[in-house]
Amino acid sequence: MNMVPKIASPATHNEMANAIRALAMDAVEKANSGHPGMPMGMADVATVLFTRFLKFDPAAPHWPDRDRFVLSAGHGSMLLYAVLHLTGYGLTIDDIKNFRQLGSKTPGHPEYGHTVGVETTTGPLGQGLATSVGMALAERMLEARFGTDIVNHHTYVMAGDGCLMEGVSHEAIALAGHLKLNKLIVFWDNNGITIDGKIELADSVDQVKRFEAAGWAASHIDGHDPEAIAAAIEAAQKSDKPVMIACKTTIGFGAPTKAGTAGVHGAALGAEELAGAKKALGWNEPAFVIPPHIQAAWSEAGRRGTVLRTEWEKRHAALPADVAQRYSADFSGAITAAVAETIDGFKKAASESGAAQASRSSSQKILDLLAKAQPNLLGGSADLTHSNLTHAKDTGSVSAANYSGSYIHYGIREFGMAAAMNGIAVHGGFIPYGGTFLVFSDYNRPAIRLAALMGIRVIHVLTHDSIGLGEDGPTHQPVEHLAALRAIPNLLVFRPGDAIETAEVWELALNHMTGPSALALSRQNLPVCRKTHTAENLSAKGGYLLRETAKPRDVTLIATGSELTLAVQAAEKLSSEGIEAAVVSMPCFELFAAQPKDYRAMVLGTAPRVGCEAAIRQGWEIALRPEDPFVGMTTFGASAPAADLYKHFGITVDAILADVKSCLGRAA
């Protein structure tokens, strides 16, 4: 079904490939910036793939059963832009002329959500490949749910030497091989060149053997031989394993003096070299001009998929109504009405029972319920399932033998997991969440950043969120991680203070469609601070008055997560001494920052403020003025029981009381 009818091409393969090369050279030359070498080297592979194999329809770029194409070597963006222009995605020749200019549709590296036809943002090497694993996995899982008639597509990737040298490629290919993602096909641009020069400077890995060792099928071909490329793709489509095709190419193919050298990797060719390249390629056109017969052949390639798409639409229309409805709902990303009911029910029960529990345990109970309320939730953990408490009751594990489960054992691969989650999210059909320790957000941070940049919904469950994890010690105790995550634009960092806030932040993360969320959850038990049920999601404003004062405030205590309890206890003590202390819970700085000024001013008040969080102070200017004290961490933690550590590092009710009294000029 994936074989698409060949077109009766009025242009030769070389002419079509040279159109990509010419556009890449011209655009980089005009911008005087960019990377001509990769597009020139991989133009033959791209031409064979897009004109003979790739299932796509520029008229319906979001058709869910299209093949996915990932340019993991994102610096070669002009290859993708050229193809999107030539096949009719609506990228105009003016867009190509505006390559790398402010506001253009053709930024330096491909950006998801910015340019139609770009399936994921690439540029940080290796991540495109790791993201594609999530796409290919999403395809297998959806196929298991909806059948081959509706879900049957490939994920094709172009990866360079850089992508394969990056460590994340190891995690990605191991996961793909283990899960037998046989519809994942990777073209390695085996050109032997990186920025510093020849690959021998820094690498001598046998990549074919490496992929084979990870459970892939892999082979070498001449990346400039269209028939060899076509034969390799045909074979790959029949594979029962993921496939890597090592394409021997010449970087900057056609450039008279620079081809095959690092000099053509990332700089304009210069007028003379460019003219020489066009001559060598037999391309006699001025800049940005594509001869009509070549454009016609590319346009025809762009129309090949229409038949397949309309046939798919017929099959989709013939689905039983309930299945069609489920498919659409899953792809729309919508949250079911049952989620709000579930959250409300959980909050009510938690406020009534008042039982202390770790926020990671609250999260587990919420997930057990959410798995039923929102069946396309897709969980996972990087081998910390029983610590992160991410495996929802009654959901099965995904394996190569059975893709119908809803839980992925990502292995000890935090970065690979986070990148795969991005791929699952951009593919569509699931809401991915995955767990590790907060301290290891250092390991997956690059993928969290990319999710934030792409504006996609992925949810990171980051447990063991402070020195409160205790005996594992400073290697496992996050100190600067909350601040580091809060520094990422468009990421919501949640640190709920009790079971009720944990339910609320899950609801917020699920409904946050335009960016990722990170949930920092405790290992240790937290008492319930909210004893009266409210239907309203109080965490939605990021910060709110948990404890108000009857008389004008003397002081405002502001805390997050496990330290909320300390603030409440301190306020009660102060009140017994006649000091009016309000308590603000601040589970999400970013949402609080987005509130109107008046609301923030009302919550924070004008009295002295004391902040408390078992982490560094950086970022707390959201709530504290320079003169307001902060009870938190300034060093790494230590190995000891949690209670001893809180005392040792001075994160205590007494420390808060002392700061309050010093602010108010009273004796401690």
Ligand X SMILES: Cc1ncc(C[n+]2csc(CCOP(=O)(O)OP(=O)(O)O)c2C)c(N)n1
Tokens of 283: 């391309």
Locate the DSSP E strands across 560-608.
581-585
CB-nearer residue toward Mg ion: 250 or 361: 250
What pairing do the DSSP bridges indicate for beta strands 243-248 and 217-222? parallel
- Closer to Mg ion by CB, 38 or 138: give it: 38
| Residue 421, phi then psi, degrees to nearest 5 | -60, -40
Residues 101-130 that bind ligand X (CB under 6 A): 123-125
Binding mask 80-99 for ligand X (x = CB under 6 A): --------------------
- Residue 265 touching ligand X (CB under 6 A): yes
CB of 24 within 8 A of CB of 8?
no
Give the one residue of 45, 193, 452, 518 binding ligand X; rule: CB under 6 A.
193
> Is 139 annotated as catalytic?
no
Tell me if 161 contacts Mg ion by CB under 5 A.
yes
Is 251 a residue that touches ligand X (CB under 6 A)? Answer: yes
- By CB under 5 A, which span of 141-149, 153-161, 500-508, 650-658 interacts with Mg ion? 153-161
Report 177-196 residues binding Mg ion (CB under 5 A).
Answer: 191, 193
**N-terminal to C-terminal alpha carbon distance within the chain:** 78
Binding range to ligand X, per CB under 6 A, among 135-143, 161-169, 412-420, 505-513: 161-169
Contact code string over 36-55 relative to ligand X, x by CB under 6 A:
-xx-----------------
Q: Where are the beta strands (DSSP E) in 53-173?
A: 68-71, 155-159
Nearest to 39 by CA among 217, 193, 220, 265: 265
- Of 37, 124, 160, 515, the one binding Mg ion (CB under 5 A) is 160
Q: Could you say which of 414, 504, 507, 613 is catalytic?
A: 414
651 binds ligand X (CB under 6 A): no
Does 260 help bind Mg ion (rule: CB under 5 A)? Answer: no
Beta bridge partners of 187: 158, 245
Residues 468 and 464: their CA atoms lie apart, in Å, by 7
CA 9, CA 307: separation in Å to the nearest integer?
Answer: 18
Which of 214, 212, 213, 192 is closest to 203 using CA atoms? 192
**Per-residue binder mask for Mg ion (CB under 5 A), 480-499, x = binder:** --------------------
Question: Candidates 156-164, 406-414, 424-432, 492-500 — which segment interacts with ligand X by CB under 6 A?
Answer: 156-164
Least Å from the CB of residue 187 to ligand X: 12
Chain positions 449 to 468 lying near ligand X, rule: CB under 6 A, are: none
Distances (CA, A) of 539 to 452, 505, 546, 592: 21, 7, 10, 9
Closest CA to 479 of 517, 447, 441, 519: 441
Tokens of 353: 């029972």
Name the E strands within 160-209.
184-190, 193-194, 197-198
Distance of alpha carbon 362 from alpha carbon 190, whole angstroms: 49
Please, what is the minimum distance in Å from the beta carbon of residue 133 to ligand X?
A: 17
Residues touching Mg ion, count (CB under 5 A)? 4
Q: Is 207 one of the binding residues for Mg ion (CB under 5 A)? A: no
**HSE (CB half, 13 Å, CA atoms) of 219?**
16
- Determine the interface stretch with ligand X among 51-59, 89-97, 190-198, 420-428 (rule: CB under 6 A): 190-198
- Using rule CB under 6 A, residue 516 touches ligand X: no
According to the binding rule CB under 6 A, does residue 541 interact with ligand X? no
Query: Can you give the binding site for Mg ion, defined by CB under 5 A?
Result: 160-161, 191, 193
Query: Can you give the binding site for ligand X, defined by CB under 6 A?
Result: 37-38, 73, 75, 123-125, 160-163, 166, 189, 191, 193-195, 251, 265
Active site residues: 414
